[in-house]
């Protein structure tokens, strides 16, 4: 297998590169950063939006590149996620295309309860990120494999775990909603497993999560234990959290600094966000492991 990986200098893309190389595949890594250490995998800096395509022939492309921010200039988010995806498809004609999407394409204004793939995309989104990722899915539908993970975590995580740790104050971990809220999480190892399976699996859309949902409280306490942090989760009511997030977003517009809390983030923690992975199990042979945070002390 000769495979190209975009977003290789990022969290998910780096893991995909190393795993594919460990299988003995020939891996060509591409990312926006000037350099990346991928354990011997050849790396090329490539701006997907403005740069010239690499002109390589590959069997498959695993497209991990894109903007993952829930706050930022909408035009830039759309360029990175939609134009960048279209350019990645065009750069490797004839190759199997595996697109790493997100569960944020599901309806953000109501709970997601063991959602099946047909329940998204929807007509409205809370921010440019969800809308742009839905647009990217539309751009590749047909012969591509689209994977929808939710809340990716693991070694090298630059988004979820850092945001969680920033919420610890004076022995309290501030969270929203209820500790009983059910969530589907996706370890980066499970996502990588799905990406590699997808290079030879049937085209279509697949939810990709850990084997079973967990409660928010159990996940938070497990991370705190592994990080040896003496803190207790404290939950803010959804309505209060939404008002706080709205104020933070208003302040961010004035100051130009990203808000510590967004309404998008509240919407993904305060109500159930669980996904049905039956299709991935059946059609891709996906066999995920349970949610686990062993080793989180070194992430």
* 206 part of the active site: no
Catalytic residue among 43, 106, 129, 264: 129
DSSP the chain: -EEEEESTTSHHHHHHHHHHHHTT-EEEEEESSS----TT--EEE--TTTSPP-----SEEEE--S---SSS-HHHHHIIIIIHHHHHHHHSTTSEEEEE--GGGS-TTS-EEEE-GGG-S-S--SSHHHHHHHHHHHHHTTT-EEEEE-SEESTT-SSHHHHHHHTEETTEEEEES-TT-EE--EEHHHHHHHHHHHTTSPSEEEEE--SS-EEHHHHHHHHHHHTT---EEEEE-HHHHHHHHHHHHHHHHHH-SPPSS-HHHHHHHSS-EEE--HHIIIII---PPPP--TTGGG-
Q: Which residues are catalytic?
A: 129
């Amino acid at each position: 297998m000769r495979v190209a990986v975009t977003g290789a200098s990022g969290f998910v893309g780096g893991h995909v590169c190393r795993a594919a190389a460990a299988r003995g595949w020939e891996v060509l890594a591409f990312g926006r950063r000037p350099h990346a250490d991928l354990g011997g995998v050849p790396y090329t800096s490539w701006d997907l939006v403005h740069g010239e395509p690499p002109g390589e022939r590959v069997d498959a492309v695993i497209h991990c590149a894109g903007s993952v921010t829930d706050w930022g200039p909408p035009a830039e988010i759309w360029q990175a996620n939609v134009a960048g995806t279209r350019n990645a498809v065009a750069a490797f004609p004839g190759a199997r295309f595996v697109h790493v999407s997100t569960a944020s394409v599901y309806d953000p204004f109501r709970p997601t309860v063991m959602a099946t793939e047909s329940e998204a995309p929807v007509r409205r989104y809370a921010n440019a990120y969800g809308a742009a990722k839905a647009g990217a899915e539309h751009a590749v539908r047909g012969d591509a494999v689209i994977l929808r993970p939710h809340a990716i975590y693991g070694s090298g995580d630059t988004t979820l775990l850092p945001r969680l740790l920033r919420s610890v104050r004076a022995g309290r971990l501030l969270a929203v909603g209820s500790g009983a809220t059910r969530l589907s999480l996706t370890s980066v190892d499970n996502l990588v497993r799905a990406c590699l399976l997808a290079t030879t699996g049937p085209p279509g859309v697949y939810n990709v999560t850990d084997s079973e949902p967990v409660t928010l409280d159990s996940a938070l306490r497990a991370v705190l234990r592994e990080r040896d942090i003496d803190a207790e989760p404290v939950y803010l009511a959804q309505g209060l959290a939404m008002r706080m997030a709205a104020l933070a977003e208003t302040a961010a517009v004035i100051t130009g600094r990203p808000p510590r809390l967004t309404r998008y983030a509240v919407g993904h923690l305060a109500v159930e966000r669980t996904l049905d992975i039956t299709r991935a199990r059946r059609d891709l042979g996906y066999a995920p492991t349970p949610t686990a945070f062993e080793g989180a002390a070194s992430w």
